[in-house]
Structure 1
Amino acid sequence: MDNRSRRAGSSSNLVYWASSFPRQPARVLVVEALPPAWADTCAVICDAMDNFLSLACNVDGPCRIPLLSLYAISRQQECLLPFVKVRGNLARLLSCVDELRSIPGEGCIRGVSRAGELLQQAVLDSLQQFKQYSRHTGAGSQAWSNLSVEVTVVTSQFGRAIVRQLETGLKDTDLVSLRRLLVLQIDGAWDWAQEIPSPEAAQSEDSLMLGTEVELQRVENSVLAIETVLKVWLQEQGGDREHLHLLLPSDNPNPVCVKCDMQERLISPALIPLTPNLGVKTESIRDFLPVAKGSTNQSSAPQKLKAIKTLRADGVCESVLYGLPLIIRPTTCWQLDWDEMEANHHLFLALCHTLRTQELFLLLQADPSSAAGASGVNSHYLLQPSMSLSFLLKPVASRELMLPSSMPVSAQDPSPDAMQTVQVTVTPFKHEYCMSHPVLI
């Protein structure tokens, strides 16, 4: 799985994120494994963790998750995994997930309030464990002195009740090292008959204000939903300074500066060890051809790409595409006879015309049988028709590499002063650029 030595001399460092992830927190995951809900959530949570850890442990580049600890709440609180480094520890992490998976999903519990106490105790224990680990491991280390911890509590109970218990139980606790405490409520149809709110609790429900230390998020009981929450851990958690300055021309000596942050949309395929045909590099046709096993020469067999779905052209998001595209044209190989070449030309033309007139793209998957040493991770490509007799072939990131990105539509209008500033700078700038660079427009 490890091809870092093979990439050591390459330019793969160019795909690293702009920052070095200097402020990534340690992570604690507290999983509630209580019946009756655990019978339905066990496989979902554990499958999501398996998928996430398989990616997180193999991502090259700067460290995204320095430490991870795992707690399980069943009949008692149990620390399945003390703080360990994530990178290079996949086998140990997956064995802890297997241990979590083995917790029985049937039985009875001694009241929901008892479960809330165990969750609270697990949070307190994780904070104490982090403090001790930091003291013993990072003595004199500036990096460790700046490290914080984030705790995620996964529960199938009513999230607001858990938040209320945690806020009450932690109000007198030293939370200086705690950056964030998230309660993740998994929605489902299980029956928590013991937790019917009292009239007093129901009256205060609407006025409940979540504290700055405790946040509540609800997700559906699906592998994808929970996996998406975990993938937030792979994104930069800095915020110490802005990442990008957009400079707009101005009549004043100093340009108008718009300060921005940058966020990754996907994990670069160049940072994970995969089969050569993934298309990590897309600078030439050689990068799309499989390598013959035991040979440094490119295989003479053509790469096979299988169409698996048509996509609406206006429904494709550019953020899931990476690398440089290749132009695809009908073959002129001299080894084909004239009739076969002509028939192939008409098929190519028909495909190009059909996709273009119906405004469709074609999603392609690399045929595993044509990839030497296939590992179960398949390459995907997008075939985009053009006005000429050709296609563009673009690599598409698989779901495993995509990071969470929720950008809601803003209902806020800009202020009149800001609108005037931007319009004065952008409008004449656009006209001048069109005249001086007509080809680029």
Structure 2
Amino acid sequence: MDNRKRTAGSSSFRSLVFWSSSFSRQPARVLIVEALPPWWSEICKVLCDALDNFLSLACSLDGPCRIPLLSLYAISRQQECLLPFAQVRGNLARLHSCVEELRSIPGEGCIIGAARGSDLLHQTVLDSLQQFKQYMRHAGSSQACNNASVEVTVVTSQPGRSVVHQLETRLKDADLVSLRRLLVVQVCGAADSGQDTPSPEDTQAEDSLMLGTEVDLQQVENTVLAVETVFKSWLQEQGGDGEQLHLLLPSSSDNPIPVCVKCDTQERLISPALIPLTPSLGVKTESIRDFLPVFNSSSNQSPAPQKLRVIKVLRAEAVCESVLYGLPLLIRPTTCWKLDWDEMESNHSLFHALCHTLRSRDLFLLLQLEPDQRPPAGSSGVRSFYMLQPCPSLSLLLKPVVSRELLLPCSMPAAAQAPSPHAMQTIEGCLAQLDEEFVLNPVSLSSYLYQHLTNKGLVSQQRYPYRLQSSAAHKDWPQALEGPRNTVSRKQRQGRPVGSSSKVRATVAPMPSSTSPSSSSSSLLGPPPAKALRPALSFLSSRRAPAPTQQQEADDDDNSMTMQ
């Protein structure tokens, strides 16, 4: 469903402010599957299982829209559109039925020729582009796909370079304005290794690919994890129109302009907070109340402690910080008063020995959360994992670890050679301008949060009765609060110079009385006069008060005479 149609009661309503700008360049997706014998029987189960896993995640994700539209084609004896362009979020039932229809395509049958297969493939690509144009023409400005581009992914078991060459040859004169990228994914089995040797024509096609044509080739293993990783790349931001991050390094003292290193950002994992109704994923680790179970007030019993089972020992240098998420929790030996002294001392010794062993051997522990009870029927339960690492003090640090389902593809190439001497000299000169600290002290880092919260609170705080009251607000006061006006004759007001003494005595407008007329205080003081609604003085308000009118000056004189 469209995110903009969600109600304010949903958990994702607070994110609507930035959804319009985040992931705004995500293209629509077209998946074309070559279900041709005899290869289809080898990859059918793997591909459909990977597609099922991916769609179950993509349809349930909250937050920015990562896949605005999806269309699915299958090529067997003929071209077939299993799914016209449809939205992905909240549409799992329909997408699952399309995957089951794809799974039901037989893997045996007559084998069509290579020319016939390539003709069907390029015609399917053109049909998907035409369908996308028609969809965008009817959708108009209400569609979330703002950039009006589409990315086509072809999954095949045929030799990938030959498929790329055929598509380049047949699509060279076609209208590919809306096509952002055409990716050919070759699912390779164990028998396919070393068989896809490029011919001279394929080498020429590969050279043209290097020149920036629209066709790319990716070869993956015939496993669910490998194919699933291809689909998960759709969830990453597909911007690329400009750099996303600037790192500013101090230059030499005679040059005030900093050295700028321009970078792009990439997600490493899907935040578990974007998946609703997934308990025990360790989504919240901000406080101990988020980690422990809720206290049962009806039974008046303390909550049972969470149980983390150690399942592996890891080397510290083998742990990548990019797979950890959330806020860490400090773990220390318990001081529960219900334990006797001997048990508490023994527990303290065991904890001390654990910290010392992990620190001395530079080890981390991988833990799994033990479920409190058996999962309901038909559900295998959801597991969460944590990393336990030692601290310099007598404590341990607990961090959540991402699981396979939420991990996004990340292929960072290793540096093949040393950087250039000029770049090394520039960076070393920049770092030489910075102060070096041996210990990170957060106390020295001030974010000016106090000032921000103070200013925000003062601006949003209601300043009645010191603020000016508008004339419309005066009309809204109940008539019961307006007592009889104490007035004097015009002769008593005439001849009296206009001064500011009466205005000075009324620096604060009196509060409207909320007591009933039958109360004793109301009977002694009488009903509040109407001049209590007079606006405050200008020096007590952020706005300049208007000049006093003749009627206001008369009311001030009446107040002075009444007090006398």
Q: TM-score range by the shorter chain?
A: 0.7 to 0.9
Matched-pair contact (CA < 8 Å) for 2:32–2:72: yes
2 CA distance for matches of 1:382 and 1:435? 23
Deviates more, 1:247-256 or 1:262-271: 247-256
SS at match of 2:109: coil
TM-score, structure 1 length as denominator?
Answer: 0.87
- Quote the offset at 1:34 in angstroms: 2.0
Aligned match of 1:382: 387
Aligned match of 1:400: 405
| 2:128 counterpart of 1:123 | no
- Quote the offset at 1:340 in angstroms: 3.2
- Quote the offset at 1:50 in angstroms: 1.1
- Quote the offset at 1:231 in angstroms: 0.9
Matched-pair contact (CA < 8 Å) for 2:159–2:196: no
Aligned match of 1:202: 199
- Quote the offset at 1:291 in angstroms: 3.9
Equivalent residue runs for 1:86-105 within 5 Å: 86-105=88-107
- Quote the offset at 1:372 in angstroms: 8.7
SS at match of 1:130: helix
| 2:334 counterpart of 1:331 | yes
Q: Which runs of 5+ in 1 are unaligned?
A: none
SS at match of 2:129: helix
- Quote the offset at 1:105 in angstroms: 2.0
Matched-pair contact (CA < 8 Å) for 2:160–2:196: no
Aligned match of 2:262: 259
Deviates more, 1:318-327 or 1:140-149: 140-149
Aligned match of 1:80: 82
| 2:155 counterpart of 1:150 | no
Equivalent residue runs for 1:149-188 within 5 Å: 149-188=150-189
- For 1:420, the aligned partner's letter is Q
CA distances 1:330-382 after superposition (whole Å, capped 9, x unpaired): 22222223343344334333433333333221111111235998872222111
Aligned match of 2:372: 369
SS at match of 1:369: coil
> Cα gap change, 1:299/1:94 in structure 2, threshold over 3 Å: closer, same or farther?
farther
2 CA distance for matches of 1:299 and 1:241? 54
SS at match of 1:278: coil
Matched-pair contact (CA < 8 Å) for 1:291–1:299: no
Aligned match of 1:312: 315
Aligned match of 1:424: 429
CA distances 1:381-407 after superposition (whole Å, capped 9, x unpaired): 111123433211101111111111111
2 CA distance for matches of 1:178 and 1:255? 39
SS at match of 1:124: helix
SS at match of 1:7: coil
> Cα gap change, 1:202/1:315 in structure 2, threshold over 3 Å: closer, same or farther?
same
- Quote the offset at 1:133 in angstroms: 0.7
Q: Could you list the runs of 4 or more consecutive aligned residues of structure 1 that deviate by over 6 angstroms after TM superposition?
A: 292-295, 371-375, 434-441
2 CA distance for matches of 1:318 and 1:26? 32
Matched-pair contact (CA < 8 Å) for 2:125–2:152: yes
1 CA distance for matches of 2:73 and 2:355? 55
The percentage of counterpart residues that share the same residue type is 69
- For 1:381, the aligned partner's letter is Y
> Cα gap change, 1:155/1:228 in structure 2, threshold over 3 Å: closer, same or farther?
same
CA distances 1:283-318 after superposition (whole Å, capped 9, x unpaired): 1111112347999x9971111212222222111110
SS at match of 1:245: strand
2 CA distance for matches of 1:145 and 1:27? 14
Matched-pair contact (CA < 8 Å) for 1:290–1:370: no
> Cα gap change, 1:45/1:298 in structure 2, threshold over 3 Å: closer, same or farther?
farther
> Cα gap change, 1:331/1:184 in structure 2, threshold over 3 Å: closer, same or farther?
same
Matched-pair contact (CA < 8 Å) for 1:304–1:370: no
Aligned match of 2:136: 134
Deviates more, 1:262-271 or 1:418-427: 418-427
- Quote the offset at 1:4 in angstroms: 9.3
- Quote the offset at 1:226 in angstroms: 0.9
| Residue of 302, 306, 318 corresponding to 2:305 | 302
TM-score, structure 2 length as denominator?
Answer: 0.69
> Cα gap change, 1:32/1:413 in structure 2, threshold over 3 Å: closer, same or farther?
same
- Quote the offset at 1:413 in angstroms: 4.3
> Cα gap change, 1:335/1:402 in structure 2, threshold over 3 Å: closer, same or farther?
same
- For 2:178, the aligned partner's letter is S
Aligned match of 1:246: 247
Matched-pair contact (CA < 8 Å) for 1:4–1:60: no
Matched-pair contact (CA < 8 Å) for 2:25–2:146: no
- For 1:424, the aligned partner's letter is G
2 CA distance for matches of 1:17 and 1:312? 40
Matched-pair contact (CA < 8 Å) for 1:24–1:238: yes
Matched-pair contact (CA < 8 Å) for 1:326–1:394: yes
SS at match of 1:403: coil
> Cα gap change, 1:298/1:215 in structure 2, threshold over 3 Å: closer, same or farther?
farther
2 CA distance for matches of 1:274 and 1:288? 16
CA distances 1:313-334 after superposition (whole Å, capped 9, x unpaired): 1111100111111111222222
| Residue of 25, 36, 39 corresponding to 1:37 | 39
> Cα gap change, 1:243/1:205 in structure 2, threshold over 3 Å: closer, same or farther?
closer
Aligned match of 1:359: 362
2 CA distance for matches of 1:378 and 1:93? 26
SS at match of 1:264: coil
Which structure's CA Rg is the greater one? 2
Matched-pair contact (CA < 8 Å) for 2:27–2:147: no
Equivalent residue runs for 1:27-66 within 5 Å: 27-66=29-68
CA distances 1:78-129 after superposition (whole Å, capped 9, x unpaired): 1110000111111111111111111122333122332222222211111111
Matched-pair contact (CA < 8 Å) for 2:43–2:222: yes
1 CA distance for matches of 2:26 and 2:297? 40
Matched-pair contact (CA < 8 Å) for 2:308–2:370: yes
CA distances 1:20-55 after superposition (whole Å, capped 9, x unpaired): 111100000111112222222111111111111111
2 CA distance for matches of 1:143 and 1:9? 17
> Cα gap change, 1:222/1:392 in structure 2, threshold over 3 Å: closer, same or farther?
same
Matched-pair contact (CA < 8 Å) for 1:290–1:372: no
| 2:274 counterpart of 1:271 | yes
